[in-house]
Each structure stands twice: as structure tokens, then as C-alpha cells.
Structure 1
Amino acid sequence: MQLGFIGVGNIGTPMCRHLIEAGHTVLAYDVSADHLARIVNLGAQAADSPRAVAQACDIIFSSLPGPREIEQVALGEDGIIEAARPGLIYVDLSTNAPATAQEVCAALAEQGVIMLDAPVSGGVIGAERGTLAVMVGGDLKTFETCKPLLEHIGANVFHVGDIGSGCVAKLINNMLAFINTAAASEGMALGTKAGVDPHKLYDIVQASSGASWAMNQFPNKVFHGDFTPGFTIDLAYKDLRLALEMGDQLSVPLLMGSICINLMRQLRANGAGGDDMSSLARVVEDAIDWQIRAPQNM
């Protein structure tokens, strides 16, 4: 089976690598020549367009920044649709707007292509380790066909429902992660300024009812003032904006999400959009002139 992979950036590269390491032949494409050269060095073959990938492959994966890029790759000039044929499967691993996934799916379906939306969660570390969560929307039979391939990428693979439902699950997950990060930043700032040892406070919260995945960013990132990007504020802003747009469409008030996106706007306005998502803590730190820092545990 010939596989294609479009978009081999920080998360796409390790996902593609896992497919190669599992013994699959992969034809890859990326707008970045450097990214494409990197995956070729890891064993992939290179293509010069999404159309070329679609012409040669049975199943195509993509990992792209957002809705605009997904539409271009799938439906644009030299896109997948220009080499569409019945039986071709397109699995988009990107974080997308549910409505965009549905629109792209419908357009491809007219040419016989079956699409799954399959966004992933777990970041670069999860992609490197092959431990991502994969949330899949679309045809159940096609999901069963692709599931063994997705299991090379992720440790937890879920079929959520119809096309677009994987995107819904991913946006909700990310919105909760961002809100939890902002809330954890306030709590850690308050506790450490009151004199509690940062590591002890972290251990107590993680052993108690305030525990969350977001707290892990403190000993790993914030305690050392390390905001080098894993998952950037700019990407987080894009995802949260998509969730808030979904709230508008469904008339669901998202009060905490609205507060959190304004914190992100503040960081972006200060030129920190390329910093790690954990830098949400700096909004609180700057407001109270206090840093949540601690020496590394011995």
C-alpha cells in the first residue's frame, strides 16, 4: 500500500517517520524544502505537489497549520482533488474547523474520495513517542481500514462520529487545556508569592482535586523560565478562535474561553506569539511583578 504524507513540520515529521519505521512506503510533500529534505533523509520519497501525492498513493495523510492550508492542499491548484479517483482515502490530522472539514469532505466525495478528519493531541513529544490521541470523524468502515495505520501514530485512537466530529473533540480538548493553563498560572503565582515552595505546591495540587495536565508545564517549563516553543501561542490562539467561532454558531457562551483568548492577544501584542503556550504564565507574572521560578529538583 502506497501512503502519502503532506505537511512534515514539527509534528508531521515524527508521525510520518513512524509510518516509515513500520515498513510503509511513504511519498511526502511540504512547501518547505528543508522539511521535505529532512523526511527524505528519514526514508520517505519526495513529491512536488499534493496532486502528485494523490496520483501515486492509496491513502494520504496531512498535517497542516489550519483551515486555509487544508482547503488549498485538498481543493486548490495542484491539490488532491486534481488527481481524485474513487477509492482514494484522505486522512487530515490537522486541527481544523468542523465546517471546513465537512465542506472539503463533500467536495472530494463528488470525485469518489473518502475523507476522515483525524486531529491529534499530545504535541511534539507525543508525536515523537507515538503516544498521541487521535480523534477521528467520518465513515466507520474507512476508519477501520485506517485504524492500524493511525495506531503507529497514536496510543489512543477514537472514532468520534460523522465527518467534522473529530475536529469538535480536538477543539474542546484544546480549549480546556488553554483555560486550565491560565487558571494554573494564577494559582501558582498566588501560592508562590505567598511563600509556598513551588515544587511542594505543584506536588500537592497534582495529588489533589486541582490536578490537571496543564500543571505539568510548571516543573517542565515555567519554573525554569523556559518558554522555547513546543506548541506556540500563535497556534493556541488559532485553535481557541476556532472553538469560539463554534460557540457563536451554536449559541453557547464560552466565558472562560473568551478571557483566555484575550490573554493570548496580550502576549501576541507584546511579540510573544512564537513562544510556548506555557508563557500564558507571564501575563500573570507581569501583572503582579513576580516570577514563578524554582531551582530544578535534585
Structure 2
Amino acid sequence: MDTQEGKVIGFIGTGVMGKSMASHLLNAGYQVLVYTRTKVKADELVEKGALWHDSVANLAKAADVIITIVGYPQDVEEVYLGQDGILNNAKSGSYCIDMTTSTPTLAKTIHKIAKEKGIHTLDAPVSGGDIGAREARLTIMVGGDETAYQACLPIFECMGKNIVLQGGAGAGQHTKMCNQIAIASNMIGVSEAIAYANKAGLDPENVLKSITAGAAGSWSLSNLAPRMISGDFHPGFYIKHFIKDMQIAIEEAEQMDMNTPGLKLAKSLYDQLEKTGEGDSGTQALYKLLK
């Protein structure tokens, strides 16, 4: 599967990131089928040439490769394992790529059931937010078989730049947990730094010129701190989804007898923020709580 010729990609989930990702596949010349629970979210892609399908089952039957990026692990479970889901309807020999941030355990379950049906699966969660999706510069963390990874690499390269096979089924999801753990504590630091700059009477934009280039530099500091300063709390990544990710990471860590104090503190702060009605805001809205 080294060219787009004749390959049909089904794409399920066209939210903040999924819409841009599917658009890149269209631009690369793939035939793209789309399904999402709210049809209007796919309208822009349909206008660009994607073909709408009215159910997961119908899309799965028609596609050679099926990509999913939905909200929560329970959505992944329903989409893949339900009676009208992907694994009961996809063709033998097809490829399924779940790019949702979900649980490593579920990724392993899906892989096992799919293998029995002759279907190849990869868990491939992403990092980079709306900007990375829009610019096709996502980091893609992949778990699964080497042969399936190599077959799907040209597709990944349409959506991301940093693409790494981390190991067998579930390894992509475990790697994404490492990513979210690192971000969780970092977001506290970034929010507190901007709040401190304001309290000290500094120009926070000027402060960023110094600290983004030094040891404190991070993706969140460079990309989300400017949004905090400008009062832009639109979601590049939803708080409600970040809370979900942190809960998965906490549970996985506990299964390995590992303590994660920074992660737990971050989740407690985001829980407070969600209770104020900020669940649909971007993760940079933590600044509102800490300023």
C-alpha cells in the first residue's frame, strides 16, 4: 500500500483535529469516505470531495483503510466492537487505525479480535493539537505490527512529521500517556508563569521572548501561552478530553504501582475548571483558574 492509487480510506470522527487530518488525505489524492454522528461536521469535507456514509458499518464495508478519531474509550469500543461496528463489517485484509487517545488495554483487545478476522490494526494517537493537525505536523505514536505500520506509513506521512512505531499493540497508547503526563504538569507551570508576569507588572508577551528560548521552552509555552495572553480559550484540545486522558494515565500508572503526584494535581485543577463550565474550552483555559 505504497501509493494512493485505488485505496479507499474511511474516516470516522471529523472534530477539531479529524477534519484537518481527513482534508490532508483528500489533498494527497486518496478517495475518502466520512462518517460522523453529527453530519454537519462533515459538510466541509464532502464539499472538498469526500463521500458521506450514513453508518459505521456501511463505511467499514467500503473502505480498505479505516481511520478513527473519536472522543472517549467507550466511543472507540462501540465503533470497533459493536454489532454494527468496524470489526464485524470490515473486509479481511483491511487496515484499521485508531488515532483516538484511548486505553492501552482496549487497543490490545481490538488488535486480538481483529487478528482473528484477518484485519490489521494499529493504535496511533497523536499530539500537536489543532495547529499540528492543520499544518500536517502531528506527532504520531504507533503501536502494532511492523508490517501493518510500514503499509500505513504513507498515510501517516500525509498527517504528521514525527511518526514512530513504539512497539506492539497498545504501545502507541502507552506513549501518548507519557505525552499527557508531561503536558499536565507543564500546563500548570506555563499558566502560573503568565499569571506571575502579569502580577509583577511585566509585559507577558515580552517575557515570552526570553523564556521560550531558554531552558523553560516547551510547545505549550510557545503555542498556548500567547493564547492565554490574548484571552483566546478556544479549543485546540478540549479540557474534557484532557481530563479523560489524565484519568486513563492515572489508572494505568496505578496498575503498575506507580505514583504520579504532578499528574494528579493537574487533574484536580482541571476538574475544578470543568465544574465552572469550561469543559469545552481549550487546555490553556487553566490560566483562568490560576491567574
TM-score of the pair, normalised by structure 2 = 0.94
Partner of 1:94: 100
Asked if the contact 2:205–2:226 (Cα under 8 Å) also holds between the matched residues in 1, the reply is no
The aligned amino acid for 1:181 is: M
Partner of 1:47: 53
Partners of 1:115 and 1:102 lie apart in 2 by: 10
Alignment partner for residue 266 of structure 1, among 269, 272, 281? 272
Alignment partner for residue 156 of structure 1, among 155, 162, 170? 162
Query: Shift of residue 20 of structure 1?
Result: 1.0
Q: How does 1:121-160 map to 2 (within 5 A)?
A: 121-160=127-166
Partners of 1:84 and 1:109 lie apart in 2 by: 12
User: Where does structure 1 lack aligned partners over 5 or more consecutive residues?
Assistant: 286-298
Alignment partner for residue 205 of structure 2, among 188, 196, 199? 199
Query: Shift of residue 196 of structure 1?
Result: 3.1
Partners of 1:127 and 1:261 lie apart in 2 by: 25
Partners of 1:213 and 1:3 lie apart in 2 by: 31
Partners of 1:178 and 1:202 lie apart in 2 by: 20
Kindly tell me: are residues 218 and 153 of structure 1, through their superposed partners in 2, closer, same or farther at Cα, counting changes over 3 Å? closer
Do residues 38 (structure 1) and 44 (structure 2) align?
yes
Asked if the contact 2:107–2:123 (Cα under 8 Å) also holds between the matched residues in 1, the reply is yes
Asked if the contact 1:51–1:79 (Cα under 8 Å) also holds between the matched residues in 2, the reply is yes
Alignment partner for residue 83 of structure 1, among 61, 73, 89? 89
Aligned length: 285
Partners of 1:67 and 1:268 lie apart in 2 by: 19
Query: Shift of residue 145 of structure 1?
Result: 0.5
Q: What is the DSSP-based 3-state SS (H/G/I as helix, E as strand, rest coil) of the residue aligned with 1:79? A: coil
Query: Shift of residue 25 of structure 1?
Result: 0.8
Query: Shift of residue 169 of structure 1?
Result: 1.0
The aligned amino acid for 1:166 is: G
Partners of 1:27 and 1:75 lie apart in 2 by: 20
Asked if the contact 2:19–2:42 (Cα under 8 Å) also holds between the matched residues in 1, the reply is no
Alignment partner for residue 257 of structure 1, among 257, 263, 269? 263
The aligned amino acid for 2:195 is: A
Mean Cα deviation higher: 185-194 or 164-173? 185-194
**4+ residue runs of structure 1 moved beyond 4 angstroms?**
none
Do residues 245 (structure 1) and 251 (structure 2) align?
yes
TM-score of the pair, normalised by structure 1 = 0.91
The aligned amino acid for 1:258 is: K
Root-mean-square deviation (CA), in Å?
Answer: 1.4
Partner of 1:56: 62
Partners of 2:201 and 2:29 lie apart in 1 by: 54
Partner of 2:4: none
User: Where does structure 2 lack aligned partners over 5 or more consecutive residues?
Assistant: 1-6
Mean Cα deviation higher: 2-11 or 132-141? 2-11
Do residues 104 (structure 1) and 74 (structure 2) align?
no
Mean Cα deviation higher: 25-34 or 142-151? 25-34
Partners of 1:229 and 1:148 lie apart in 2 by: 28
Kindly tell me: are residues 13 and 191 of structure 1, through their superposed partners in 2, closer, same or farther at Cα, counting changes over 3 Å? closer
1:224-262, Cα deviation, whole Å (9 max, x unpaired): 222122212111111111111111111111000000000
1:65-97, Cα deviation, whole Å (9 max, x unpaired): 121111111111311122144311101111111
